[in-house]
Structure 1
Amino acid sequence: MKNYLNLIFILIFCFMNYFSNTLIDALCPMRCNCNDERLIAFCNNSLLDVVPITLNPELKELYLSNNQIKNIFSSFTVYRDLEVLDMTHNSMTSLGKKNFNLQNHLKVMSVSNNMITQINNLTFYGLSSLHVLNLNDNLLQDLPFRVFATLISLEKLDLSSNAINSVSPEAFSGLNNLKSLILRNNRLVRVPSVAFSHLPNLVKLDIGFNSFIEMPDYAFSSLMSLQELLLDSCSVTSIPETAFLHLSHLRQLNLRDNHLTQIPTEALENLKNLNELIISGNRVQIITAFAFRGLTNLKVLEMSYLSQLSYIDRDALIENVRLKKIVLEFNEKLKNVFIGTFDANSANLKYLSLRGNSMETLHSRLVQWQRLDFLDIRENPFNCNCSLVWFWKFLKESNLTTKEYLESVVCAKPPNLMSHPLMSIPVSDLGCYESKNSQYLTTTLIVFTVCTICCIFVGLWCRTRLTYLMHKKQYEQSLYPALTDDITYEKGRIIDNQVMCSPTTAIMIKPPIRIAPITEL
Structure 2
Amino acid sequence: MLFLLVFLFLIHQIKSCPLTDEYLSRCHCGILTNGESYIKCDENSLNHIPKFKRSYSYDELILINNNIKNLTSSSFDNIKTIKRINLYGNNLSFIDENLLRLLGNYLEELILTGNNHINSLEFLTRYPLKKLRLIKLNQFNLTNINLEKFFHNMTNLEIISLNSCQLKHIPNINHIKQLNLENNFLTQTIFLSTTYYYLNLANNYITSIILQNNKNLISLNISKNNLNEFYSLTISNKNLTILDLSYNYLTYIDWTILNDNLIYLNLSSNLFTNIIINSFPKSLLSLDLSLNQLKTIEKNSFFQQLIYFNLNLNPFDCNCHLKWLKNLMKKFNTTTWLCSLSDFKCQNNFMPQIIFFNISFIKVFNNYALFIQWSIIDNYHTINYLQITIDKPYRISQKFYLNKTRAFISNNIQFNQYYHICLLIIHKYAHDKYCQDIFAQNPIINNQIKFQDNDFIFNDNNNNNNNNIDINIDTKTNDFNDKHLYLLLIGSCIGALLTFILLITCCYLCYQIYQYKNINQQPIYEKCSQNIHYPIYHTHPTCSHHQIIYNSENLSNSTDSTHIDTSSSTTTTNHPKHIYQTIDSQEYRSLQRQHQHLFELWNESVKQKR
- TM-score using structure 1 length: 0.58
Percent sequence identity is 19
How far 1:220 sits from its partner (Å)?
4.0
- Check the 8 A contact 2:273/2:295 in 1, yes or no: yes
**In 2 relative to 1, CA 205–65 (structure 1 residues): closer, same or farther, beyond 3 Å?**
farther
1:263/1:116 Cα in 2 relative to 1: closer, same or farther (>3 Å)?
A: same
* Counterpart selection for 1:281 from 202, 210, 224: 224
| Aligned position for 1:182 | 136
Q: Where do residues 280-429 of structure 1 align in structure 2 (5 Å cutoff)?
A: 280-287=223-230, 289-290=231-232, 293-306=235-248, 308-309=249-250, 311-313=251-253, 315-318=254-257, 320-331=259-270, 333-337=271-275, 339=276, 343=279, 345-364=280-299, 368-384=302-318, 389=321, 391-396=322-327, 398=328, 401-402=331-332, 405=334, 408-412=336-340, 417=341, 420=342, 424-428=343-347
The one of 55, 59, 72 equivalent to 1:103 is 55
The 3 A distance-change label for structure 1 pair 282 and 360 is same
1:255 corresponds to 2:201: yes
Q: Distance in 1 between matches of 2:292 and 2:56?
A: 57
Alpha-carbon RMSD: 4.3
Distance 1:237 1:466 in 2: 61
Q: Which residue of 2 aligns with 1:204?
A: 159
Offset at 1:363? 3.7
Q: In structure 2, how many angstroms separate the alpha carbons of the residues matched to 1:301 and 1:318? A: 10
Q: For the structure 1 residues 188 and 43, does the alpha-carbon distance in structure 2 shift closer, same or farther, using more than 3 Å as the test?
A: farther
Contact kept in structure 1, 2:263 and 2:285, CA below 8 Å:
yes
Question: Do the aligned residues in 2 keep the contact of 1:180 with 1:202 (CA within 8 Å)?
Answer: yes
- In 2, Cα distance between equivalents of 1:52 and 1:185: 33
Cross-structure match for 2:20: 51
Do 1:84 and 1:106's aligned partners in 2 also have CA atoms closer than 8 Å? yes
Partner letter of residue 323 of structure 1?
L
CA–CA separation in structure 1 for the residues paired with 2:241 and 2:372: 52
Larger radius of gyration: 2
Matched with 2:119 is 166
Distance 2:128 2:200 in 1: 28
Secondary structure in structure 1 of the residue aligned to 2:324:
helix
What SS does the aligned partner of 1:262 have? Answer: strand
Match of 1:230 in 2: 180
Could you say which residue in structure 1 is the equivalent of 2:372? 448
C-alpha spacing 1:442/1:399, structure 2 compared with 1 (3 Å): farther
Say which SS state the counterpart of residue 70 (structure 2) adopts.
Answer: coil
What CA deviation, in whole Å up to 9, does each residue of 1:272-322 have, x standing for no partner?
2222211111112222x426852211111111111x33x324x34346331
* Aligned residue-pair number: 366
Q: What's the offset of the Cα at 1:355?
A: 0.9
Work out whether 1:65 is the aligned partner of 2:12.
no
